[in-house]
Amino acid sequence: MKEQMDQRILEGARDALRSARSVAVLTGAGISAESGIPTFRGAAGLWKQFRPEELATAEAFAGQPELVWEWYDWRRSLIARAEPNAGHYALVELERRVSKFTLITQNVDGLHRRAGSKHVLEIHGTIWNLRCTRCRREWTEMRVPLPLQRCECGGIARPAVVWFGETLPARVWEEAQGAVKSCDVFLVVGTSAVVYPAAGLVPLARSAGARIVEVNIEPTAYSDAVAYALNGPAGEVLPQIC
C-alpha cells in the first residue's frame, strides 16, 4: 500500500510540474550533500573543534580573520572537487521546459550554475566571490587554495556570503519572494525548512495558492502541509518528476 501511495504521489508531482507554466524552486544543503559537500548541521559539518555557527559571523572574522579564512579555504577546496549530481541536472532540464522558472538556492557552492541553470538567485551569496571589508568592492576568485586576500584599496577581503546575523541581499530576496508569489508550483528540495527567512517561502507559496512539491531525504515540519511530499535523495527523485 505504501509503495502504491508513493507512486501516486510521484505521479501527482510529475503531473503538477508538467502542467505548470511558472515554477519556483528552493534548494538547500541536501542537494549539495549528494555531491559530497558537508552540511552545516550534520556531523561532518564540524571543522577541527569549531562549529560553523562560531566561524560564519562578522565578529569571528574581525577577531580571527586567518582562522575563518582557513575554514572557508577548506570549504572551497571541497567544493572545487565536487561535481553537480543528477538532481542539479534535472532542474536544468525543468528550466528548459517551463516558460517561467526561478531557482532560489540557499547554497553558496555554485553547483547549480555549473550544471547549467540560468536563472539562479543565490540568496546566501557565493563562496567564489570576495568582498572588501573596507570599500565593499566584490570580485570573483576561483583559485584553490587561496591565501587571505586584500583588496586593491588595502582592505581585507571576506567571502561574499551571508553570515549568521546578517540580512539577505535586498534585491535578490525581493525577486525570490516575487517568484514564489507568482508561481503555479513551488518545488522545495533538500532543505529542512527551519532556517529563516528562507523557510518563510513555504507558507508564502501556500498563501499565494501554489501547489508545493517537497523532495527531501526525510520528512520536515512542512511535509504534512504540502501537496506532494517525496522522501528520498534529490538525485533519485528529481529525474523522475522533472
Report the C-alpha gap between 59 and 113 in whole angstroms. 30
Q: What is the dihedral of CA 169, 93, 78, 201, to 10 degrees?
A: 30
- List the one residue out of 237, 218, 239 whose CA is nearest residue 9: 237
**Which helix (H) or strand (E) segment is 63 a member of?**
helix 58-63
Residue type, 29: A
Residue of 88, 112, 119, 124 with catalytic role: 124
Residue type, 154: G
Q: Which residues pair with 106 in a beta bridge?
A: none
Alpha-carbon distance of 98 to 78, in angstroms, equals 32
Distance CA 191, CA 176 (A): 16
119 is an active site residue: no
Before 219, cis peptide (omega within 30)?
Answer: no
Query: Which residues are CB-contacts of 96 (< 8 A; sequence separation ≥ 6)?
Result: none
Q: Are 230 and 4 in contact (CB under 8 A)?
A: no
Q: Which amino acid is at 240?
A: Q
Closest CA to 177 of 156, 203, 146, 151: 203
Residues designated as active site? 124
